Amino acid sequence: MNNLFTRVNVTLPPGLVSELKRIVPNSKRSSFVANAVTEKLIKLKRDKALASLSGVWDKSGGAKFDNEVDLSTWRSNLWSSWENRLKTNEKVSG
């Protein structure tokens, strides 16, 4: 028989445990901790994936951006042109 959950022993700082007990009801603590670990793992995986892509943009001859505003403008234009293509395809096929 497969268990849906596995019990683990985790050591936490006393202050963190006190705050957890004070804020999160006893019946919700396991799911709270599971969600927190899940979110952290997702972030770690994303950061690892992004690190593996480091330099790919420059190596492929991607556009250079002097600041966040330029990058944001480029993204807006990119999505705008994509949305226009989708609308054009809908008119043709519809």
Q: What are the pLDDT digits (tens) for 4-60?
A: 889 999 999 999 999 999 999 999 999 999 999 999 999 999 999 988 887 887 777
Is 20 in contact with 29 (CB distance < 8 Å)? yes
Burial class (CB in 10 A: 0-12, 13-18, 19+), 29: middle
Looking at residue 30, its pLDDT comes to: 94
Q: What pTM did the predictor assign?
A: 0.58
